[in-house]
Structure 1
């Protein structure tokens, strides 16, 4: 046995702790929203870099993440300090994450080609890596903050609620305040001057929420499991343990579902400004109103996810939500192409888009909440089988899944823009109507296939409420036996 139990009995989680725990995810939400929605648009449409170059740079950053995420997870699992395994890394992340985010929106004037590519790769990788230093250890707190099957869904709900509120709040505020329409820039979001205050505001929120959340959960350190010092292993032994950890069948099912779902989400987000301004002909103010649908969707998901989990189980609920998401994200585009949707300029267009998008967002956030909670259940099952707690490693994989939205998703969106012939620096040259129509025609089947294939992977996930409760009972019995043995020896 490699672990002992903390002698302090943890009291129930208070609302304040849940609130502050979730609050920290606003930093990740801001980074994620900026990468998914603004980054490709800014460097391609505003700066004038080729879409393929921008998406390739973002993809390189994702590849770097594929290595850095499990490394951070492994460090977090094996760290032993008086502040526990997670909090030192969380404190460490705040300043470098916010600074690298700020400079991402301040490329040197005249930089282009290889120089711009390298600048984007370095800054995007830095933002991702330093956010990872917070996100993975913070996520890994969840299984120890809450062990109950349904309570885990609740705290995951707070986490994703604030993650989306942070990102969408910055989005709405930016469109409404930082990017007002001007005679030179009637769309607002094409104005390069708005991106400096965007970087300042985003970085300020990131550092403040990370520190507040870390301080707000600091008092729970004394209730965390007290683990002995990790065994010294060479790199090959470490890689073998990581392979054994990640070979869990339930985890692989979640991984397949999550990567495809988040890639689809990334495509939708990366193309949102293109569709909003060019296909639906919405103004910056209307785009701000439409973006607020995510706040409604996140609020509904906070209520819906725990209820669906109790009634359908996490797996069943995630499957239903994935299918529903396909329907509501594709519906307005399919109906418009068939001539059955409201025309541009119609007073009913914005309300209809708002409602359909809010339902799609609700489904997406609810399924993300469930996946986060399902990983906590996998961690318990894996620890019973292997005798090792590997929260950091598993949530590193969850972090990688989420980053697929701003990595694989944005990369795919950039390729789609290149395929349909979107011109570089289109704010100056304009876009032919058939280009955006072809983009919509390509978007619909790509999104449908990603979500359907992802939902298929869920059939291999076998953990339900009964099996999880049996796993917890076995873990408690083994811990009690170990504690008795340590006491008598």
Structure 2
């Protein structure tokens, strides 16, 4: 693939990140802290789209796989989905502030459901496109590396959106906080969601489009529900889902408990100081992640995706030991060691695992005579998003279990702090140890992937 095409397709990673994260990250300060909406109602409203995704994601996957047009089966949806995402995202923040709490929540639920529906229209075909950009085993990982770069750049900046609105207010460019947030969010909507989102549709190529048309014409296709079931009959896909669920469990315990330990254990309940260091840690994760992408790509090319993941899982397990020593009062300056080693984990997840999905789609075509990246992307995405939603609930249960009480501030019991540290360290190490063992069941080696490509090209021609 030409370098410029990889960059163009990678730009969609910015849109993907804002679709996944920005509403959830900014809804609480805007609707709760500024407009005064009940946080419990807001939490429920944020969970509703996950239920809606259970229906829309697989349907969009099926539509994208079977669609035919002069522009391909993915690109029309990517283009339209990005534009509609930008418009609906901006409308979320245009709620009339004089309405009652019920009216404000109704606005938020309706506009967020529209936004997440548009996000599905964009995200499922876009993710599918990244899977089918190249038939080459190693180049697939490089493509995912470009997507990850833009995702990490978004991660560096999105937490500063609310502060940016405050800057506009201080400079006199907006009349109040609400106007400032609306201005910032419309910039995100127009530039980073719609603008970046259309780039893959304009400059990306669908190399498997003719292959799919040929396969469908020659072989009878399975129905919708049978296709969903067949994704779970793919051993490699099931193992990858298992690895992802373990990653979410480990990540939930790490990213939530480290915040509480910073605030209540290391800074004696000082929310401001703890939040500043949490923000610095998050930025360090993103920065170290960007810098480690070339190392992950080099390692994957020199060895294989499986060996790369084994090395990364081992390093993350060792990082658990580092966490035990750095998350203690007076050691906050050393928390950046956590970012150095931990960032490798998330980069490997974003690049290597997504690249493995493309190999799984080859295996599926070999067996079922059809390119079904859309369905695999949809099922995988829905399982992941559901697990993330449940992980927030599980994180709250952990805090209750260890006896945490926010009213006590930094005066929590020694047993509570010990429980929090153990859950963060061991709760992060054990899932990754299980993942390291589960990885032994993953059947697609580099040699097998190359052989599958050879058989497919002999059967239906090269891409």
TM-score range (shorter-chain normalised) is: 0.7 to 0.9
Q: How does 1:206-355 map to 2 (within 5 A)?
A: 206-217=193-204, 220-221=205-206, 224-228=209-213, 237-265=223-251, 268-269=254-255, 280=267, 281=270, 282=273, 288-328=279-319, 331-332=322-323, 334-335=324-325, 339=328, 342-343=330-331, 349-350=332-333, 352-355=334-337
Aligned pairs, how many?
444
What is the DSSP-based 3-state SS (H/G/I as helix, E as strand, rest coil) of the residue aligned with 1:145? coil
Alignment CA distance shift 1:246-1:473 (3 Å):
same
With over 3 angstroms needed to count, the CA separation of the structure-2 counterparts of 1:75 and 1:268, relative to structure 1, is: farther
Cα displacement (A) at 1:45: 6.3
Q: Could you say which residue in structure 2 is the equivalent of 1:458?
A: 439
CA distance in 1 between partners of 2:22 and 2:432 (Å): 23
Corresponding residue for residue 136 of structure 2: 148
Contact 1:301 1:366 (8 Å CA) reproduced: no
Quote the residue 1:403 is aligned against: 385
Whether 1:433 and 2:410 are equivalent positions in the alignment is: yes
Distance 1:134 1:250 in 2: 26
Can you list the C-alpha shifts for 1:417-444, whole angstroms capped at 9, x where unaligned?
Answer: 6766666xxxxxx772246965844544
Q: Is the 8 A contact 1:143 1:376 kept in 2?
A: yes
- Displacement, 1:398? 3.5
The 3-state SS of whatever aligns with 1:256 is helix
Q: Could you say if the C-alpha distance between residues 277 and 97 of structure 1 is closer, same or farther in structure 2, counting changes exceeding 3 Å?
A: farther
Greater mean alpha carbon deviation, residues 27-36 or residues 432-441: 432-441
Measured at CA, do residues 198 and 118 of structure 1 come closer, stay the same or move farther in structure 2, by a change above 3 Å?
same
Which structure has the higher relative contact order (CA within 8 Å, separation 6+)? 1
Q: Call closer, same or farther: CA 1:31–1:262 in 2, change over 3 Å.
A: farther
What do the CA deviations read for 1:384-429 (whole angstroms, capped 9, x no partner)? 0111110111122343355357523334345556766666xxxxxx
In the other structure, the counterpart of 1:134 is: 122
Q: Give the corresponding residue for 2:174.
A: none
1:408-487 matched pairs, under 5 angstroms: 408-416=390-398, 432-434=409-411, 440-441=420-421, 442-480=423-461
The Cα shift of 1:71 comes to: 1.1
Q: Does the 8 A contact of 1:73 with 1:136 survive in 2?
A: yes
Q: Which runs of 5+ in 1 are unaligned?
A: 1-12, 184-190, 344-348, 424-429, 484-489
Return the match for 1:27 from 5, 15, 27: 15
3-state SS of 2:70 partner? coil
1:227 and 1:374, CA in 2 relative to 1: closer, same or farther beyond 3 A? closer
SS at match of 1:24: helix
TM-score computed with the length of structure 2 as normaliser = 0.81
What pairs with 1:5-20 in structure 2 (closer than 5 Å)? 13-20=1-8
* Structure 1 partner of 2:341: 359
Alpha carbons of structure 1 residues 363 and 221: separation in structure 2 relative to 1, 3 Å: closer
* Offset from partner CA, 1:215-243 (integer Å, 9 cap, x none): 121xx247742543958x99993201221
Which runs of 5 or more residues in structure 2 are unaligned?
171-176
> Which residue of 2 is the match for residue 426 of structure 1?
none
Name the one with the larger helix percent. 2
Name the TM-score, length of structure 1 as normaliser: 0.77
> Which digits, 9 at most, give the CA deviation of each residue in 1:447-489, with x for residues without a partner?
44444444443232110111111101110111149x9xxxxxx
Q: Which moved more, 1:352-361 or 1:437-446?
A: 437-446
Q: SS of the residue aligned with 1:372? A: helix
The alignment partner of 2:223 has SS state of: helix
User: What is the aligned partner in structure 2 of residue 374 from structure 1?
Assistant: 356
In 2: Cα distance, 1:260 partner to 1:142 partner: 24
Q: Structure 2 vs 1, CA of residues 386 and 14 (structure 1 numbering), >3 Å: closer, same or farther?
A: same
Cα offsets for 1:192-213 (capped at 9, x unmatched): 7764344233323111100223
Q: In structure 1, what is the Cα distance between the partners aligned to 2:25 and 2:340?
A: 17
Secondary structure of the 2:143 match is helix
- Within 5 Å, give how 1:100-119 maps onto structure 2: 100-105=88-93, 109=97
Deviation at 1:28, TM superposition (A): 1.2
Q: Distance in 1 between matches of 2:435 and 2:295?
A: 21
Instruction: Return closer, same or farther for 1:276/1:80 CA change in 2, 3 Å cut-off.
Output: farther
Aligned-pair Cα RMSD in Å: 3.9
Once the two structures are TM-superposed, the CA of residue 63 in structure 1 deviates from its matched residue by 2.5
Contact 1:267 1:405 in 2 (8 A): no
